[in-house]
Structure formats: structure tokens, C-alpha cells
Amino acid sequence: MRAFSAKLVPVLGVSRVIGGSSNGINTVRVFIQSVRYYNDRRSDNRYNDRNVDNYNDRKPDNYTNRHYTMRNSRSRSRDNVYLRDADYKRPERHIDLKTFDEEENYQNVSIKSMVDEGLLDKPILRAFEGLGYKQLSPVQQRAIKPSLKSSEDLVVRAKTGTGKTMAFLIPIMQKLLNAGRGPRKTHGSVKAVIIAPTRDLALQIESEIHKLQDQSRELSYLSTVSCVGGTSMRMNVTRLQSMRPDIVVGTPGRLLDLLQNYEKFFTNVDIKVLDEADTLLEIGFKSELETISERLNELNQEGKKHIRTMLYSATLSEKVESLAGNIINKDTCYYINTVSKEDSQSHEKINQSLVLSEDFASSLVAVVKELNDLVATGKQVKAMLFLPTVKMVSLYSSMLERVLPNLRVLEMHGKLSMNRRERIVRDFKRLSNGVFVTTDVGARGMDFPNVTHVLQLGVPTQVENYVHRIGRTARAGKDGEAIMFLMEDELHFLDILKRESKTVIKNQRKFVLENEIAASTFDNLKEIRNDLEASILSVLSHYRSRASIYNFPFDVYKNIASSYGKILGDESKKIIVKGRDISNFISSNDMRYAHDIFEIVGSLNGGSYKNKSNSNRRRSGGNVRRW
């Protein structure tokens, strides 16, 4: 176990703009000679709008680029407006890691032993055993006891699918029982805030809390409310007012909205938890998380350093450490690492394999062949299939429903409505056989029972997402299969995976295209030709956006683009692309080959690269060496 102490680094001479809203609050320029991160005035709330995108959970309601407009005009005042300037940056709090000895014999830690030591109450033991758990997972053995014995902040790094959720829920439940908020509870305010990166994960955490409560009368008196993007804000507020919950589980955007307009509910928070902290940062929530932490501290009646922070993450990157340094409150923060440097970050019970295809069109068929073979065995097939883009998920799901009519296909991505997403998640949890086709939005945090296989077509958005994806199988001590489908030109990904995640895929096999299943796959894809074009272009755009990570050769892009003609049965056919859009799909260094893989309409980037491949071919007698 390690601890890091936080030190505040002052920033001198910071200039920022306090932006007024449209109802007439004037713009004021403030020059700060010396900045302290926690200012005593409530007006020193800062919300940074960097990295804004279309992610549903990112933005608070009524978000604008220049300022944060409050929903409740009756409570609008200069002190209540989140003030920010595009160039303003919070001062960083640097952390010094110090090594502490691991607790001896942590393997012997159990729920019962902690009850015997007086750290846990018996209702929690009954709830834990009532859910069918026989023993604690390693992360629970290492994290729960320090959480109970100490009130310091905590950062935990653990592999995906190792019981992180229960590791922070049990200490929260015990804290609430200690506070006497059972049958004697009086209407108060929120005591614990849990922040999750996605709506689905937040709702899943709420479900886990309810499962614990169902097993114990004492725990059933505790109340929980989920507040996530895509749901009714009015309904959230109504539940907060009527239930006065002990725990709020939410996504950053919605929590910011509540802290801005309904602060009275958050004046007595004792604990804040960040689940899947690395995903929160990957999405771009760093500024929001710091603002939430700052706001909770300012509102707290016990003082700005009262709230305890518990941060859980699958990785401990510099970004995660930086976030921890900026949001922890205590003088000491314990760091618990359950993953050694030599360990693979992937789960030991997962049998990983790789299927190599000659080109992208063959990879599309290879996945169908794999699913068809699995169904033919007659064994349970509850699979998750990860694809690069939303458009490809929609296209491939439609095709699978036709090619594999005996296998239930569920399509899941961030573009679906909240109600439909909830229904799909609920259905897949209940299914014993089926395939859940998704993007990376379904890769983190979701706990689907009895997933037998995880399939991946193409490279993930980030290297570490490979580990997060395969973590959907082999849960609760069970075995699982993880199969990745790549083109031969993508083999470089394996080197990157080994270097960054200490993960080696030993089982590799070559896919040989079979005419019958290829014909069935291609025929069904051809029936939705317009979607096929858009899907292939979206995959090209995905690979183009990952160029700095994977540095794939041009042949990768060529293989993806040429899959269009191969699927249609005429390899001379090319996707029509406007010249000005080409840079979305290939790099500037490869522009001279653009006419080889696309049918281009209009000039190519202003005409500077127009048909260079054809002129090169004429000068060289028709043969152009690509590499």
C-alpha cells in the first residue's frame, strides 16, 4: 500500500474573465495576484468547457460555450454563476507517492473476520451472503478493510471485473449505518455521491445497491437516487425532495446541474466516489470532476476538507494521478495496487485468441463464421461483439439478424434513446443466448452475467480498451473466451498491446474465406448498400483518428476501402467521396493514392493532389511502388 501527500502549488498573476449571462450581468475582468485553489467565496466556482463533444452525459442542461446559464432564474445571482474563461487553467496539486507495506495476510480477510473485529455490522454480512458470495475478491480484501479502519482518501487500481463496485459500496453502507440513518433516520441531505462515466454504469451501481438492500431489513431503510443525463431533470429533483436520499449516483453533467441549482441537497456529503476514473478522463470529464469536487467542498457544512474521496480505476496513468491530486482533500491518500508490473492487465481466466484475415471484407465474414460455429455446438452462446463505430454496429446488427435467425441480436450504442438502452441492457442480462453488438460505450463497467464470449472486430479506440472489453467475460470466477479479428496488416497492434498492457495473445489462427458463408454475408450487406458506404467510411474515419496511436500503413486503409467493391461483387467499384472530405479518411502523406481507393467528386484538397497516382503511373510505365 502506498500513500501520497498533496501539496498546493500557487499560481501568480492569473487573469480570467467572469462572463455574465444574457439577462444583463456585466462582464468583469479580474486580475488575481495570488490564487488559492479553494477560495472562500462561492463565486470562485470554475467550469472549464474544453474538449466539448456530443457525448450525451458530458454537458449540463442549458450549457453554452461562453458561460453556464442557470436553469432557475429566480436563484440567479453573480455568486451562483459558474464563471470561467477559455484560457483559465486550475493550478495543479502535485502528489508525492510514498510506499507503504502491504497488509500481511490480506488473503485471510473476509466479511466475517471484519464483523468479528467490529469493523462491519452483521446486516452487511447477511446481505453479502444473501447475494450468494462465498468470499471476497482480491480487490475487496485489500480495499474494504483500509476503507473501514481509516478516514483518509483512497485510490485503488484493479483489473476489470474484480469486484470494484462492492469494494466501495460496503464501506459506504457501513458509514451510513454508523451515522444512525437506519429506522431512526431523519430527513436530511445526501451523504455519499458516486460519479460514473456513463448512464448505464450509474444505473447498474444503483441496481447493485438495491440488491444489497433487498437482503437486509436494516439496509432497506437507506435510500438511493440515480441522476443521469437523458432522464427528466424535474423527476430527479422530485425524487431528491421526496426521498432525501443517502446516496446519489450520477453522471458528471447532471451532477453539475444539480450542484448549481439545487445545492441544498449536498451540504452534508461525507464521501465521494469516482468509479472508472480512467474512463471519466478518457471521455474528457477532468474539468467537470474538479468542479464537482470543488463545489461539494464549498457547500459542506463540516468544512472544505471533510469529504473523503475514493477513486477506482483500471489504470493509474499520469492523468489519473493528476486528477487525484486535484480532488483529494485529506493530507494522506492511500494507494492500493492489486496489479503488479509483471502481471497482464487482462483476466487470467480468459482464453484469448486472434483470427487473422487477408482483408477487412474477410474479417466481416470471419465474425459471422465464428458465431455460426458457436451456435452449431449447441452450447450456451452469450456473446458481446465490439465494433469500431455506431454506423457499423447498426449495419452489422441488421445483417446478423438475417444470417443468424436462431441467435437473438441486440444493438447497443450511444445514439439510442435512454429508454431503449435501458430495455436492451435489461434484456441482455436476462438472456441465456444472444449477441450484444456494441461500441466502446458498452465496454466499461457494465456487469452482464454469464457472458461466454467477447468478440472484437478491428482495433479499439484506445489500447487499454482491449482489456476493458474482454473484462466483460470470465466474471465471478467463471471462464471466458475473447476472440479478436484483425487484418494481417494490423498485426502491429499486438506489439503495442504487449508493450502497454503486458498482454500477449498466444492463440492465433488464419481465416480462410468460405464461399457459402461469404455469399450469405455479402448478399445481406448489399441489401442495405447506402448504410454499407456510410459504415465503411466511418471505420476509415475511426482508423484515421487513431493514426497517432497505431501508425498503421496505408494498406490498412486501402483494405478497408476496397471491402466495398468486394462485398458488392465488383472490386472495381469504389465509394464516392467529395474531394474536400478525403482528409477525414486518409493522411496527407497518402493523398497521392486517394484515386486508387475512392471515386472522388470535385478537386482533391483544392486540387493540389489531383490524380497524382494516375500521373505517377503513366511516368513509371503503369507500375507504382507503394512502399
**pLDDT per position as a tens digit, 585-608:** 999 999 999 999 999 999 875 454
Q: How much of the chain, in percent, has pLDDT values that exceed 90?
A: 59
Q: Kind and range of the H or E element at 13?
A: strand 11-18
Q: Would you state the pLDDT for residue 342?
A: 58
Among the ranges given (5-14, 313-322, 512-521), the one the predictor scored with the smallest mean pLDDT: 5-14
- Give the confidence band of 3 by pLDDT, cuts at 50, 70, 90: low
Q: Would you state the pLDDT for residue 92?
A: 62
> Could you tell me if residue 362 is inside a domain?
yes
- Same structural domain, 255 and 319: yes
- Give the confidence band of 35 by pLDDT, cuts at 50, 70, 90: very low
- Examine the pLDDT at 292 and tell me if it is beyond 60: yes
Residues 6+ apart with CB under 8 A from 87: 16
- Same structural domain, 258 and 404: no
- Examine the pLDDT at 44 and tell me if it is beyond 50: no
- Give the confidence band of 626 by pLDDT, cuts at 50, 70, 90: very low
The answer to whether residues 19 and 27 touch, using CB atoms and an 8 Å cutoff, is: yes
Tell which residue, 23, 71, 24, 25, has the closest CA to residue 263: 71
Cα-based distances in Å from 148 to 119, 132, 160, 173, 175: 6, 23, 23, 11, 8
SS3 521: helix
Across 458-601, where does the E strand assignment appear? 480-487, 507-510, 575-578, 598-601
Tell which residue, 461, 464, 407, has the closest CA to residue 439: 461
Q: 159 versus 65: which is more confidently predicted?
A: 159
Work out the end-to-end distance of the chain between its first and last CA atoms, rounded to an integer number of angstroms: 51
The alpha carbon dihedral of 164, 447, 51, 297 has a sign of negative
- Same structural domain, 265 and 379: no
Q: Would you state the pLDDT for residue 74?
A: 35
- 82-105 per-position pLDDT tens digit: 333 333 455 565 555 444 445 555
- Same structural domain, 370 and 323: no
> Could you tell me if residue 622 is inside a domain?
no
Helices and strands (H and E) in the chain: how many: 22, 20
- Give the confidence band of 464 by pLDDT, cuts at 50, 70, 90: confident
Q: Would you state the pLDDT for residue 620?
A: 39
CA distance 439 to 450: 20
Among the ranges given (181-185, 410-414, 449-453, 544-548), the one the predictor scored with the smallest mean pLDDT: 181-185
CA distance 604 to 618: 19
**DSSP character at residue 107:** G
Q: Would you state the pLDDT for residue 337?
A: 86
Q: 493 versus 12: which is more confidently predicted?
A: 493
- Angular region, 280: left φ>0, alpha ψ -120 to 50, beta rest: alpha
- Same structural domain, 318 and 217: yes
Domain that holds residue 418: 350-573
Residue 88, C-alpha cell as written in the block: 483559465
Last residue of a domain, one of 277, 305, 337: 337
- Mean of pLDDT values over 554-573: 96
Q: Would you state the pLDDT for residue 94?
A: 56
> Could you tell me if residue 333 is inside a domain?
yes
- Same structural domain, 522 and 373: yes
- Same structural domain, 388 and 333: no
- Give the confidence band of 467 by pLDDT, cuts at 50, 70, 90: confident
- Same structural domain, 444 and 520: yes
- Give the confidence band of 71 by pLDDT, cuts at 50, 70, 90: very low
Q: Would you state the pLDDT for residue 81?
A: 35
- Examine the pLDDT at 438 and tell me if it is beyond 60: yes
- Examine the pLDDT at 480 and tell me if it is beyond 90: yes
Q: Would you state the pLDDT for residue 612?
A: 45
Q: Return the CATH number at 484.
A: 3.40.50.300
> Could you tell me if residue 18 is inside a domain?
no
Best-predicted range by mean pLDDT among 35-39, 287-291, 437-441?
Answer: 287-291
> Could you tell me if residue 37 is inside a domain?
no
Q: In angstroms, how far is CA 162 from the centroid of its own chain?
A: 17
Q: Would you state the pLDDT for residue 297?
A: 97
Q: Would you state the pLDDT for residue 442?
A: 59
Residues 6+ apart with CB under 8 A from 420: none
User: For the chain, what is the mean pLDDT?
Assistant: 81
The alpha carbon dihedral of 212, 214, 215, 220 has a sign of positive
CA distance 193 to 175: 13
- Mean of pLDDT values over 312-319: 86
Residues 6+ apart with CB under 8 A from 216: 123, 124, 126, 127, 130
The answer to whether residues 166 and 321 touch, using CB atoms and an 8 Å cutoff, is: no
β-strand partners of 469: none
- Examine the pLDDT at 24 and tell me if it is beyond 60: no
Among the ranges given (181-185, 200-204, 231-235, 587-591), the one the predictor scored with the smallest mean pLDDT: 181-185
Last residue of a domain, one of 301, 316, 337: 337
> Could you tell me if residue 35 is inside a domain?
no
Q: How much of the chain, in percent, has pLDDT values that exceed 70?
A: 76
Q: 91 versus 557: which is more confidently predicted?
A: 557
Last residue of a domain, one of 337, 370, 395: 337
Q: What is the domain count for the chain? A: 2
Residues 6+ apart with CB under 8 A from 508: 353, 354, 355, 356
> Could you tell me if residue 114 is inside a domain?
yes
- Same structural domain, 267 and 160: yes
> Could you tell me if residue 11 is inside a domain?
no
Among the ranges given (90-94, 174-178, 417-421, 501-505), the one the predictor scored with the smallest mean pLDDT: 90-94
- Same structural domain, 315 and 393: no
- Same structural domain, 289 and 371: no
Q: 54 versus 255: which is more confidently predicted?
A: 255
Residue 591, C-alpha cell as written in the block: 493523398
Cα-based distances in Å from 442 to 276, 315, 321, 412, 465: 13, 18, 25, 7, 11
- Same structural domain, 382 and 323: no
